[in-house]
Amino acid sequence: MKHLMLATALTAATISGAAFAQEALENQIETFAPNINYEALSEDARLQIANVINGSGSFSEKQSTVTALALQENAMEEGSMMEDNPYVFYMSDEQYTTFANDLKGFEPSADPANLSNDTRLRLMAAMYGSGSHSDKASLVKSILLDS
């Protein structure tokens, strides 16, 4: 009987600890991208986002990456992307140059200057997300066709 009560107590402590960790991660994500539907994120995306948040980089770099990962997961709440809002998306000159060069590597005819913030974020998610180069190239081309 004592063993059963001990096992039950340990299980309850483990579950409450996991729930606390999940809530902490959800709060961290909300700091960087308040319009993310946490429940729509896969476990893999949550881990990737946690790595970004706890890694190096400026707030705006982390914010852009977290938002791009959420877009890749289709976890952004509807109407959350406000076009040309600098608080939603900001890219430094250095980041823009890197993005433009990387985009040319996937689609040489693409002109990043004429892309909306939403399209740039979707392209970042495609280019810097997981998958083979050919899968990424196909996704980049389909995003460019839709824009």
pLDDT at 114: 87
The residue range of the domain holding 46 is 2-146
Round the average pLDDT of the chain to a whole number and report it: 74
With a cut of 70, say whether residue 100 has pLDDT above it: yes
pLDDT band at 52 (very low <50, low <70, confident <90, very high): confident
CA distances from residue 27 to 11, 55, 117, 128, 130 in whole angstroms, order as listed: 24, 16, 25, 24, 25
Highest mean pLDDT out of 7-16, 79-88, 134-143: 134-143
pLDDT average, residue stretch 129-141: 84
Which residues on neighbouring strands pair with residue 36, listed in sequence order? 76
What's this model's pTM, rounded to 2 decimal places?
Answer: 0.46
Number of independent structural domains in the chain? 1
CA torsion 145-85-56-27 (nearest 10°) is: -110
pLDDT of residue 72 exceeding 60, the answer is yes
